[in-house]
């Protein structure tokens, strides 16, 4: 975020545009602030604890991983969990779409990708059973999106009463949870939202983002929350 902050400040200086009204933050910090307003916990397990829990989950066969497509070491399993989380947010609709795509692949790729999807979802579910904390700070963002919708934007107004525009900048990839947060804001709050893509990936993402918005109940997950 620091790099984006410096770049934006430099561009504003070059354009002789004041920057006094700007607040720089990231979606996780926004999520934490929203959850603080409604007194929801914002504690999470860190990566080291997560890897330790994954190692224990695998050792106790809580998640069956038999396919060679799914690595058995905790770091690789965590990478898979993170990637599926980025793409789907563990939202039920997106997981169904992912599975539909998998079903259309040719063998044996279809079976391998299905195993990867199952492993990522199973690991997330097992981790949730093991701790009352959030598995990662991505959950703050999803939970905040749900709270914005549940309160019809009231929680946003209490947390950010002076914000009159939201911009997501420096985007080279858009995690589903970030889209769900923006979706909730657009649905419930009367502030404009702008997404500024990077030059290299912007043309692709501009086509992809509308599909990410096309889900009901943004921030929802398939697990009990």
pLDDT tens for the chain, 225 residues: list them: 555 556 656 665 666 566 666 777 889 999 999 999 999 999 999 999 999 999 999 999 888 877 788 888 999 999 999 999 999 999 999 999 999 999 999 999 999 999 999 999 999 999 999 999 999 999 999 999 999 999 999 999 999 999 999 988 877 778 999 999 999 999 999 999 988 887 777 777 788 788 888 899 999 999 975
Instruction: Determine the straight-line distance between the first and last CA of the chain, rounded to whole angstroms.
Output: 29
Q: Residue 148's closest CA among 44, 27, 45, 23?
A: 27
**155 touches 147 (CB < 8 A):** yes
**DSSP bridge pairs for 197:** 171
Helix, strand, or coil here: 195? Answer: strand
User: pTM surpassing 0.85?
Assistant: yes
Region of 45 please: left (phi>0), alpha (psi -120 to 50) or beta. beta
pLDDT at 16: 58
Helix, strand, or coil here: 167? Answer: strand
């Amino acid at each position: 975020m620091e790099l984006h902050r410096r770049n934006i400040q430099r561009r504003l200086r070059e354009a002789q545009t004041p920057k006094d009204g700007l607040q720089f933050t990231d979606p996780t910090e926004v999520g934490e602030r929203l959850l603080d307003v409604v007194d929801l916990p914002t504690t999470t397990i860190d990566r080291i604890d997560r890897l330790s829990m994954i190692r224990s989950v695998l050792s106790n066969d809580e998640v069956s991983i038999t396919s060679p497509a799914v690595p058995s070491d905790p770091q690789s399993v965590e990478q898979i969990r993170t990637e599926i989380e980025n793409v789907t947010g563990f939202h039920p609709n997106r997981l169904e779409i992912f599975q539909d795509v998998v079903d259309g692949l040719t063998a044996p790729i279809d079976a391998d990708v299905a195993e990867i999807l199952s492993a990522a979802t199973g690991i997330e579910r097992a981790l949730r059973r093991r701790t009352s904390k959030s598995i990662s700070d991505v959950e703050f963002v999803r939970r905040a999106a749900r709270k914005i919708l549940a309160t019809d934007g009231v929680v946003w107004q209490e947390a950010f009463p002076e914000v009159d525009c939201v911009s997501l900048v420096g985007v080279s990839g858009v995690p589903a949870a970030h889209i769900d947060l923006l979706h909730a804001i657009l649905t419930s709050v009367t502030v404009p939202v702008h997404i500024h893509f990077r030059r290299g990936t912007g043309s692709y993402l501009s086509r992809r983002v509308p599909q990410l918005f096309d889900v009901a109940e943004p921030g929802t997950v398939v697990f009990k929350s």
